[in-house]
Chains A and B, each alone.
Chain A
Amino acid sequence: MLRLWLNTATLLCAASLLLIVTFLLYASSPIFAAQGLNFVVEQEWYPYEALFGLLPVLVGSLLSVGVAIALALPLGVAAALFNLEIIPKAAQSWLRLLMELMAGIPSVVYGLLGLWLLVPLLESQLNLLTGRTLFTAALLLAIMALPTIMVLSEDALRRVSREQRENAVTLGLNWWQQVCRILLPQAWPGIRLATLLALGRALGETVAVMLVVGSIDRIPEPFYNLLLPAQTFTSRIGREMGEAEIDSLHWAALMSSGLALMLISLIVVAPSLFWRSK
Chain B
Amino acid sequence: MSSVFTPAKLIVTLLALPALIIPAFALGYIVYQGSSVISWQFLTSSDALDGFGNSSGILGQLTGSLLLALGGCLIATPIALGAGLFYQLQANPRQRKLLESVLYLLQAIPPIVYGLFGLVLFVHLLAWGVSLLTGMLILAIVVLPALTLNTITSLQRIAPEYSEAARALGLSDSALVGRVWLRHARLELITGQLLAMARALSETAPILFTATVFSGVVWPESLLSPVTTLQTHIFYLAQEGGNPLAIQVAWGSALVLVASVALFSLLARKLKSIGEQ
Chain A residues within 8 Å of B, Cβ to Cβ: 1-3, 5-10, 12-14, 16-17, 19-20, 23-24, 26-27, 74-76, 78-79, 81-83, 85-86, 95, 97-102, 104-113, 115-117, 143, 146-147, 150, 174-176, 179, 200, 203-207, 211, 234, 237-238, 241-242, 246, 254-255, 258, 261-262, 265-266, 268-270, 273-274, 277
What are 8 A-B contacts defined by CB distance under 8 Å? A2-B85, A5-B78, A10-B83, A78-B19, A95-B20, A105-B202, A143-B23, A238-B112
A277 to chain B: which residues have CB within 8 Å? 100, 104
Q: Given A2-B174, A6-B83, A98-B27: A105 and B261 within 8 A (CB)?
A: yes
B contact face: mostly helix, strand, loop, or mixed: helix
Check A101–B262 contact: CB distance below 8 A: yes
Check A8–B247 contact: CB distance below 8 A: no
Least distance between B105 CB and chain A CB atoms (Å): 6
Check A106–B111 contact: CB distance below 8 A: no
Q: Does B219 contact A (CB under 8 A)?
A: no
Please report the C-alpha to C-alpha distance between residue A207 and residue B109 in the assembled complex, in whole angstroms: 16
Least distance between B175 CB and chain A CB atoms (Å): 10
Chain B residues within 8 Å of A, Cβ to Cβ: 1-2, 6, 8-9, 12-13, 15-16, 18-20, 22-24, 26-27, 29-30, 78-83, 85-87, 89-91, 95, 98-117, 119-121, 124, 141, 144-145, 148, 173-174, 177, 198, 201-205, 208-209, 231-232, 234-235, 238-239, 247, 250-251, 254, 257-258, 261-262, 265-266, 269
Contact check: which of B29, B111, B265 meets A113 at CB < 8 Å?
B29
Contact check: which of A16, A99, A107, A255 meets B106 at CB < 8 Å?
A16
Check A6–B24 contact: CB distance below 8 A: no
Please report the C-alpha to C-alpha distance between residue A254 and residue B99 in the assembled complex, in whole angstroms: 30
Check B12–A86 contact: CB distance below 8 A: yes
Check B205–A13 contact: CB distance below 8 A: no
Check A78–B86 contact: CB distance below 8 A: no
Q: A76-B19, A106-B204 are in contact. List 5 more A-B contacts (CB 8 A).
A: A98-B23, A105-B261, A108-B232, A108-B234, A176-B6
Contact check: which of A10, A82, A206, A258 meets B82 at CB < 8 Å?
A10
Q: List the 9 closest A-B pairs by CB distance, nearest first.
A: A204-B110, A9-B82, A78-B15, A106-B202, A206-B205, A82-B16, A79-B19, A176-B8, A269-B108
Check B102–A14 contact: CB distance below 8 A: yes
A204 to chain B: which residues have CB within 8 Å? 109-113
B258 to chain A: which residues have CB within 8 Å? 105-106, 109
Check B262–A13 contact: CB distance below 8 A: no
Check A108–B235 contact: CB distance below 8 A: yes
A81 to chain B: which residues have CB within 8 Å? 12, 16
Check A274–B104 contact: CB distance below 8 A: yes
